[in-house]
Amino acid sequence: MTFARQLLLTLGLVSCSSLVAAHYSPNFNTTLGGLGLPTRLLDAIAKEDSEAQSAQRERPPRGQGRGQAAIVTTAVVTTAALSDTAQAIGTSEALRSVSVVPFGGGVLTDVLVASGDMVAAGDLLARLESDAEQVARDRAAVALRLAETEYTRYESLARSNVASQTELESLRAARDDAELALREAEVALQRRSIFSPIGGVVGIVPVEVGDYVTTETEIAMVDDRSQVLVDFWLPERFVGMLALSQQVTATSLALERAQFTGEVNAIGSRVQTDSRTIQVRALIDNRNDLIRPGMSFSIEMTFDGDSYPAVDPLAVNWDGDGAYVWVVADGVATRTAARIVQRNADTVLIVSDLEAGAQVVTEGGLNVRDGAAVTLHGNVSPNGIAVRRDADGPSSSPSAPSRIGEDADGRG
């Protein structure tokens, strides 16, 4: 390589290095001038650096054209309460259950019901042998007739002053005693028949005709399961939140996880010291007769807490400083810090300086810069109608989807 070519290459490298150094060090041109470089070369370097800096300042943000604001979609900020959910396992029992037993012992002569029968209050279930009671009732009836006849005769004599008043009073007492004896005999006879005290469904009947039963023998179990009671226990931290008529969701562990809705019917008066729990009883409608006493349920109760701003999950962004949202006001986007409190299926509860009704960016947030102007492609109004802002001005349509960019069936 000749000396001339080496000199030209060296001058080229020095020029490139000077351009780079001048770009990052504003005082480097002065340094080059002190080294004795030509004034024309120094002016060219300064002009090139100035043009490069001007182009850098005028360059639009990524994803935008020159001078064009970012196009975004927004959603309305709402307010929602923080939900605290309690879960427990409960056991059902019939609204009313009666184990029917006889008033006295004896041999069964009739069993008039079978398992699964529906009975009303007062229906006859079975009969005991009652020959002795019938005889006693008839004897009491005869004694009452004699007492009444004797009393009537002496009453007539007393009016004629033939019989004394003392004898008449004695006969009146005998007549009243005969009436009581007859009533007692009728009660004893009636108790040889066994009636259902409540309406409901008869369970398995464990006795048959001819069995000898006592006052401890169960004739039938009758359950009123038109409604069922479910008992469960909750931790003591929920004591202050519990109230009668609160809604309860019970999921059956046997009926293919079928769900039933009920309400709190009773609350225990004290916390159990061994388990630190309180007993709660829920009343659940069972008009379809799907629930049986003794079934287990997964119980869930939701308690509302403090209210927080609620935003669309798409509105929450993340970076090294944490979560934030873009708030749009007067066509300008502002970054607002947000601390997530609770995530729900369709909203996110946050701690932030937001008020209900504010607009937050849900789509197009990657192109937004803090304090930069934005163009609203569409937003969701509080009534759920999509609003589009075009060049012709705002317009709305009740048939439009709730989020711009989705089809009528909800697909994007």
- Encode the chain in three state secondary structure: CCHHHHHHHHHHHHHHHHHHHHHHCCCHHHHHHHCCCCHHHHHHHHHHHHHHHHHHHHCCCCCCCCCCCEEEEEEECEEEEEEEEEEEEEEEEEEEEEEECCCCCEEEEEECCCCCCEECCCCEEEEECCHHHHHHHHHHHHHHHHHHHHHHHHHHHHHCCCCCHHHHHHHHHHHHHHHHHHHHHHHHHHCCEEECCCCEEECCCCCCCCCEECCCCCCEEEEEEEEEEEEEEEEHHHHHHCCCCCEEEEEECCCCCCEEEEEEEEEEEEEECCCCEEEEEEEEECCCCCCCCCCEEEEEEEEEEEEEEEECHHHCEEECCEEEEEEEECCEEEEEECEEEEECCCCEEEECCCCCCCEEEEECHHHCCCCCEEEEEEEECCCCCEEEEECCEEEECCCCCCCCCCCCCCCC
Query: How would residue 155 be classed by pLDDT, with cut points 50, 70 and 90?
Result: confident
Does 130-191 carry CATH code 1.10.287? yes
pLDDT tens for each residue of 247-280: 999 999 888 888 999 999 999 999 999 999 999 9
Q: Where are the domains of the chain?
A: 3-58, 70-77+312-396, 86-93+220-306, 130-191
CATH code of domain 70-77+312-396:
2.40.420.20
Query: Could you tell me the pTM of the whole model?
Result: 0.55
- CATH superfamily of the 86-93+220-306 domain: Efflux pump adaptor protein, beta barrel domain (2.40.30.170)
pLDDT tens for each residue of 298-343: 999 988 778 889 999 999 999 988 999 999 999 999 999 999 988 8
Q: Mean of the pLDDT values across residues 29-51?
A: 57
